[in-house]
Amino acid sequence: MLAAFLQGGDGGDGRAEELGRLDRLAGDGDFGTNITSALDRARQALEAEPPQDYRGWLTAVSRGFLGTGGTSGPLFGMFFRDLARCCDTGEPTLAEFSAGLTAAVATVQRYGKAEVGHKTMVDALVPAARTLEAEVAAGSQAADALARTADAAVEGARGTAALLARRGRASYVGDVARGVLDPGAAAAAIVLQAASAAQSG
Ligand code: ADP
Ligand code: MG
Ligand code: MG
């Protein structure tokens, strides 16, 4: 799915536009274009210099986000940078990917100061990282573990609709954002669905 995003701006399926619509309801409306330009930048870098490995691929995605505005740009940039670090040696094992995800989420929280319940991407990322840790500890198969991780992210993202925002621009509008899904949490869930889809082929 992330690859679909990379193919053509928003993958041609309107998801970036939908994320932008959510940001218009509760923020400043630039989330869709922020995501699209980050992924466009990443795609150009990948085409100019095709990476040899996962780390190179994730680093290009990270740089695409780090070069983009909005609050989500640097946060996703640091997120993907930490994920890239988990794959020194080619394809990461499930345990390595889990450690990378946990580190990435901790970095997002360190910089953004958002906790679960603040109606941000953290609401999707924290349950996902915890679920994957538990799956690794239980010795689950990668495909099952990543599917449950994606489900946890989706459930966390869905839950943001009911929340009052405590971080980001949506926190400026108070009750207006109630009932609106947080676009950053939705995007984080899409990323984890992409990881799951990539694993299951
Ligand atoms: P901006 O508000 O600067 O326009 P974006 O539209 O790029 O930012 O991104 C908005 C998303 O960023 C929100 O949906 C939310 O998930 C996320 N976000 C905002 N502030 C924080 C924060 N402090 N910590 C984590 N995520 C945040
Ligand atoms: Mg915005
Ligand atoms: Mg903005």
Note the pLDDT of residue 194.
Answer: 93
Residue 8: pLDDT above 60? no
Domain count, the chain: 1
Tens of pLDDT, residue by residue over 9-20, are 455 568 899 999
Q: How confident is the model at residue 7 (pLDDT cuts 50, 70, 90)?
A: very low
Q: How confident is the model at residue 64 (pLDDT cuts 50, 70, 90)?
A: very high
Report d(CA 187, CA 113) in Å as an integer.
19
- Residue with CA at minimum distance from ligand 1 atom 13: 184
DSSP state of 45: H
CATH number of the domain encompassing residue 16: 1.25.40.340
In this prediction, residues 159-170 reach a mean pLDDT of 95
- Which atom of ligand 1 is the closest one to the Cα of 113? 23
Ligand 1 proximal residues by C-beta, below 6 Å: 23, 27-28, 30-31, 34, 70-72, 75, 108, 112-114, 120-122, 167-169, 182-185
Residue 97: pLDDT above 70? yes
**Is the complex ipTM more than 0.95?**
yes
Tens of pLDDT, residue by residue over 99-149, are 999 999 999 999 999 999 999 999 999 999 999 999 999 999 999 999 999
In this prediction, residues 56-81 reach a mean pLDDT of 96
Burial of 52 (0-12, 13-18, 19+ CB in 10 A): exposed
| pTM for this model (two decimals) | 0.94
Report d(CA 155, CA 127) in Å as an integer.
9
Report d(CA 190, CA 188) in Å as an integer.
5
Note the pLDDT of residue 6.
Answer: 39
CA angle 165, 162, 21 (to 5 degrees): 70
Report d(CA 182, CA 163) in Å as an integer.
9
- Full domain range(s) for residue 64: 2-199
Which one, of 36, 105, 116, lies nearest residue 75 by Cα?
A: 105
Alpha helices in 8-93 (DSSP H): 15-26, 31-48, 54-66, 72-85
Note the pLDDT of residue 88.
Answer: 77
Report d(CA 110, CA 7) in Å as an integer.
32
